[in-house]
Amino acid sequence: MADSFSLDLPQRPRRLRRTASLRALVEETQLHPADFIAPVFVVEGDAAPEEISSMPGVFRYGIESLITECRELAQLGVPAVALFPKLDAKLKDDEGSAALHEDALILRAVRAVKKAVPELTVITDIALDPYTTHGHDGLLTTSRDDVDNDRTVAVLAKMAVLHARAGVDLVAPSDMMDGRVGAIRRALDGAGFHGTGIMAYSVKFASAYYGPFRDAVGSAQAAGTRLLGKATYQLDPANRRSALTELALDEAEGADIVMVKPAGPYLDIIRDVRNATQKPVAAYQVSGEYAQLQAAAKLGWLDLKKTRRESLLAIKRAGADMILTYFAKEMARELRG
Query: Which run of H or E residues covers position 150?
Result: helix 149-166
Q: What percent of the chain has pLDDT over 90?
A: 85
Write the pLDDT tens digit of every residue in 184-204. 999 999 999 999 999 999 999
Domain-located, residue 214: yes
CATH classification of the domain holding 265: 3.20.20.70
Domain-located, residue 113: yes
The structural domain count of the chain equals 1
Domain-located, residue 2: no
Domain-located, residue 287: yes
| 3-state DSSP percent of the chain in helix, strand and coil, to 5 | 45, 20, 40
Domain-located, residue 62: yes
Cβ within 8 Å of residue 257, ≥6 positions away: 170, 197, 198, 199, 200, 279, 280, 281, 282, 322
pLDDT at 1 > cutoff 60: no
Write the pLDDT tens digit of every residue in 216-246. 676 655 444 454 468 899 999 999 999 999 9
Domain-located, residue 196: yes
Domain-located, residue 49: yes
Write the pLDDT tens digit of every residue in 262-298. 999 999 999 999 999 999 999 999 999 999 999 999 9
From residue 330, alpha-carbon distances to 77, 203, 232, 260 in Å are: 12, 27, 36, 22
DSSP string, 278-322: SS-EEEE--HHHHHHHHHHHHTTSS-HHHHHHHHHHHHHHHT-SE
Domain hosting 301: range is 30-335
Strand partners, 173: 126
Q: Say how many C-beta atoms besides its own lie within 10 A of residue 53's C-beta.
A: 10
pLDDT at 69 > cutoff 60: yes
From residue 106, alpha-carbon distances to 3, 113, 210, 302 in Å are: 70, 11, 21, 36
pTM for this predicted structure:
0.94
Strand partners, 59: 51
Q: Are 70 and 115 in contact (CB under 8 A)?
A: no
Q: Are 203 and 251 in contact (CB under 8 A)?
A: no
Domain-located, residue 15: no
pLDDT at 259 > cutoff 90: yes
Which of the residues are catalytic? 204, 261
